[in-house]
Amino acid sequence: MTGIELVEKAIRGDDQAFLQLMSENKEALYRTALAYLKNEEDALEAMQEVTVRAYEKIKTLRMPEYAKTWLIRIMMNHCYDVLRKKKRYVLDERIGEWKGISDDFTYLEVEEALRHLSEKDRQLVYLKYLHDLKIKDIADMTSTPEGTVKTRLYKAVKTLRTFFEGKGEKGHV
Amino acid sequence: MFEEEQKLKKWKEEIESKTMPEERLEHAINKGFEQAKIKMQKRRTYKQGIWSIVVAAILILSFVTSIRVSPAFANAIASIPGMERIVEMIQDNKGLQLAIENDHYQPIDVTDETENVKVTLKGIITDETSLVAFHTVTFKEKNHPDFIVNYRILDTDGNDLSKKVSYSNNWGHETETESMNTLEIELNAPIPREPLVLEVQIGDDIDTHEVKKSISLPFQVQLQPVKKEQYEINEKVTVDGQSIMIKNITVGPLKTAVEVECAPENTKEIFGFEDLRIVDAKGEVWTSIKNGIYARYTEDPNRKIYFLQSNYFKESDELYLKFNKLMALDKEEATLVINTETEEIVEQPKDQRFSDLKMRGLFMDIKLKGEKDYYHDPFSTFYDAEGKELQSKWGSFYQSDDEINNFGLELPNVEFTNPLHFPLHAYPSYIKGNVKIKIK
């Protein structure tokens, strides 16, 4: 069974296919949740919630070939909701728990810079740079012209650069 | 942009360096899936959500969408505020409607709540030892994990007086956060006249069903005590070679109970009467309980008690018990044998209506091809390969297209040996006759 057949079965209401689809995308979903929420427990909880939402909505998925992007977007929206409800940046409190393998501070630097993007742009960066999705796929999935996606992404990365260079104004979100 | 992309690459690597909690992720997916299933079922089966598996009781599940009531009943309820949704709950139960018409309904309206769940006891109907309690349940947050674990009736010292508990939900059409529930509790003694408490136990863990909080609704029964009428019948009839003895009939305000004994030498297992009914001299008919417990086992496997809608509040000089159609299956076919490890149906009745056995952890899904209006739950106590007796903690049911009944059962979290044997308690297979017995 190809990926698309699996997704089509899941859309038609095949529970086993749905579970397999979730399982196949669990890594991407978990990484996304982790990138947003910064800890395992919250990420697992998000995984459960996103499974519920995906099951409820899978019948509305019109383009089976973009099931992965579709799932990641559900996850990103959910995580954004979670963070918004908490009304604070998790990063500030949990930064101590995030001890990485690298010696430099690139990760923290990127995280800090990402905070200054709008949620829309941040999602774009996640799709492109965390999940390595093609600009064309992002464009198709979000029903945006390819050129627009490119421009937005370019601007977003440019914004990141200003922060990397220490030119970001404090409070300018 | 090279430098930025390099940084983003490092950032990605950092996120990917985190170990994945494989098993916990799978568990989270399964839990989410179950949660979604339950939510969808609530929506699809507007009348029945989840029911608690009642030991040694047989459930019938039905879906009624239009409301039909008699003018007399409409008149009786017009004077009681907030009855609309109760009417909806009992529209297929003439007996309870008669009780309300005859002022044998006590409005209560007491509310108690926890942080997330609010319960209002609307009113009660009683008989000698049981009571039906109508109540609304409101979940303040839509996706909150809290759910009702159980109900108990307590005296003022906190002693539990309940013997058997069953309940059904009726979710609101739009809100999904409020349901109107009917609860029937049989007490271990006649209904006391002293103050009582209806306790609603709340839990949030669908795995353990551990009680975390409780809601207390104090009330006192003011309805007149009632005395059930009992008729000894002891008449034997034969349908399609199967011998059946009607032993006795008890009529109370909540329901009429008919005790039936099937001869042990019968070749077929009689699951139930499709059209068991009481008819009076004028031709008025009282049929079986349409939504809820319609039969109960006794200690003798050949003896069962069937419940009909009550005619207690209807005076009549002549009464007959009638039936024409029985649900029955050859005894040697009346078991479903499954293997939960291989997800195989090992044995089932010849016409093979069971299919699609799926396991998700302890949760078992199976489909049964029914017929029009087939809403019976075929499962009750089951046994493992070594004869160990097992009970499901709870189950779910919804009917999808093509008359397919989807049953979900949660297996108990204990060790068992495959295959599992489920003696069937219903199956769409029938025998026909024409029986009329004089009650009085």
**Residue A135 domain boundaries:** 101-173
Two tokens at A8? 């089509």
Of A16, A44, A111, the CB nearest to B21: A44
Contact state of A106 with B21 under an 8 Å Cβ cutoff: no
Please give the pLDDT value at position A111: 80
Please give the pLDDT value at position B113: 93
Identify the sign of the CA torsion A81, A24, B358, B368.
Answer: positive
Q: Cα dihedral angle (B212, B216, B217, B221), rounded to 10 degrees?
A: 110
Interior/surface letters B10-40, b for 16+ CB within 10 angstroms, e for the rest? bbbebbeebeebeeebbebbbbbbbbbbbbe
- Alpha carbon distance B11, B301 (integer Å): 68
Number of domains chain A contains: 2
The CATH number linked to A113 is 1.10.10.10
Displacement of CA B150 from its chain's centroid (Å): 13
> What is the SS3 assignment for B76?
helix
Amino acid letter at B146? D
Same domain, A151 and A93: no
Burial class (CB in 10 A: 0-12, 13-18, 19+), B352: exposed
Contact state of B31 with A102 under an 8 Å Cβ cutoff: no
Same domain, A11 and A89: yes
Residue B363's contacts (CB-CB under 8 Å, 6 or more residues apart) are B34, B408, B409, B410, B411
The CA-CA-CA angle for residues B362, B366, B371, to 5°, reads 155
Which residue of chain A is at minimal alpha-carbon distance from B365? A15
Amino acid letter at B178? E
The CA-CA-CA angle for residues A152, A153, A158, to 5°, reads 100
Tell which of A78, A99, A120 closes a domain: A99
Of A22, A31, A100, the CB nearest to B29: A22
The answer to whether the CB of B406 falls within 8 A of the CB of B354 is no
Same domain, A69 and A18: yes
3-state class percentages of chain A: helix first, strand second, coil last, to nearest 5: 75, 0, 25
**Which among B330, B426, B289, B425 is positioned nearest to B371, based on CA atoms?**
B426
Please give the pLDDT value at position B1: 63
Two tokens at A46? 């998000």
pLDDT tens digits, B117-171: 999 999 999 999 999 999 998 888 766 677 788 899 999 999 999 988 877 766 6
Same domain, A113 and A158: yes
Two tokens at B283? 């031709």
Name beta bridge partners: B187: B162
3-state class percentages of chain B: helix first, strand second, coil last, to nearest 5: 15, 45, 40
Name beta bridge partners: B118: B113, B138
Total CB pairs under 8 A between chain A and B = 114
Say what the pTM is: 0.59
**Which among B133, B45, B33 is positioned nearest to B90, based on CA atoms?**
B133
B5 in A contact zone (CB under 8 Å): yes
Which residue of chain B is at minimal alpha-carbon distance from A45? B28
Two tokens at B403? 């008359």
Eight-class DSSP state of B329: E
Min Cα distance B8 → chain A (Å) is: 6
Contact state of A22 with B24 under an 8 Å Cβ cutoff: no
Q: Given the DSSP bridges, would you call strands B319-330 and B277-280 parallel, antiparallel or unpaired? A: antiparallel
Contact state of A31 with B15 under an 8 Å Cβ cutoff: yes
Please give the pLDDT value at position A94: 41
* Numbered residues of chain A with Cβ closer than 8 Å to any chain B Cβ: 15-16, 18-19, 22-23, 26-27, 30-31, 34-35, 40, 44-45, 47-52, 55-56, 100-102, 104, 106-107, 109-111, 125, 129-130, 154, 157-158, 160-161, 164
**Which among B203, B215, B211 is positioned nearest to B144, based on CA atoms?**
B203
The answer to whether the CB of B114 falls within 8 A of the CB of B213 is yes
Min Cα distance B18 → chain A (Å) is: 8
* DSSP result, B369-380: E--TT--B----
The CATH number linked to A57 is 1.10.1740.10
Which is higher by pLDDT, B291 or A35?
Answer: A35
Tell which of A67, A99, A131 closes a domain: A99
pLDDT tens digits, B237-271: 999 999 999 999 999 999 999 999 999 999 999 98
Same domain, A109 and A171: yes
Same domain, A82 and A18: yes
pLDDT at position A114 over 90:
no
Please give the pLDDT value at position A173: 36
Eight-class DSSP state of B403: T
Query: What is the rounded end-to-end Cα distance, in angstroms, of chain A?
Result: 46
- Alpha carbon distance B103, B108 (integer Å): 14
- Alpha carbon distance A162, B8 (integer Å): 14
DSSP count for chain A of H helices, then E strands: 10, 0
- pLDDT range class, residue A100, cuts 50, 70, 90: very low
Furthest-apart CA atoms within chain A: distance in Å? 52
Please give the pLDDT value at position B52: 35
Contact state of B14 with A35 under an 8 Å Cβ cutoff: no
Contact state of B39 with A52 under an 8 Å Cβ cutoff: yes
Please give the pLDDT value at position A89: 44
Instruction: Report, as an integer, the average pLDDT of A118-123.
Output: 86
Phi, psi of B348 (to 5 degrees): -160, 170
Instruction: Report, as an integer, the average pLDDT of A100-113.
Output: 67
Q: Given the DSSP bridges, would you call strands B178-187 and B162-171 parallel, antiparallel or unpaired? A: antiparallel
- Alpha carbon distance B330, B350 (integer Å): 10
Please give the pLDDT value at position B85: 74
The answer to whether the CB of A31 falls within 8 A of the CB of A126 is no
Of B4, B20, B40, the CB nearest to A164: B4
pLDDT at position A47 over 90:
yes
**Residues in B 356-375 with any Cβ partner in A closer than 8 A:** 358, 360, 365
The answer to whether the CB of B223 falls within 8 A of the CB of B104 is yes
The answer to whether the CB of B313 falls within 8 A of the CB of B255 is no
Contact state of B10 with A31 under an 8 Å Cβ cutoff: no
Identify the sign of the CA torsion B154, B160, B161, B164.
Answer: positive
Q: Which domains does chain B have, with CATH numbers?
A: 50-219 (2.60.40), 229-331+430-438 (2.60.40), 335-423 (2.60.40)
Q: Is the ipTM of this complex over 0.90?
A: no
Identify the sign of the CA torsion B409, B428, B302, B254.
Answer: positive
Please give the pLDDT value at position A102: 44
Please state whether B201 falls in left (phi above 0), alpha (psi between -120 and 50) or beta.
beta
**Residue spans of chain B under pLDDT 50:** 43-57, 59-67, 173-174
Two tokens at B317? 């000089």
**Which among A7, A13, A135, A157 is positioned nearest to A70, based on CA atoms?**
A7
Please give the pLDDT value at position A86: 63
Same domain, A140 and A160: yes
**Residues in B 21-80 with any Cβ partner in A closer than 8 A:** 21, 24-26, 28-33, 35-37, 39-40
Same domain, A92 and A59: yes
Same domain, A18 and A82: yes
Contact state of A44 with B8 under an 8 Å Cβ cutoff: no
Which is higher by pLDDT, A84 or B325?
Answer: B325
Same domain, A62 and A117: no
The answer to whether the CB of B248 falls within 8 A of the CB of B305 is no
Tell which of A74, A99, A124 closes a domain: A99
Same domain, A92 and A68: yes
Please give the pLDDT value at position B393: 65
Same domain, A77 and A6: yes
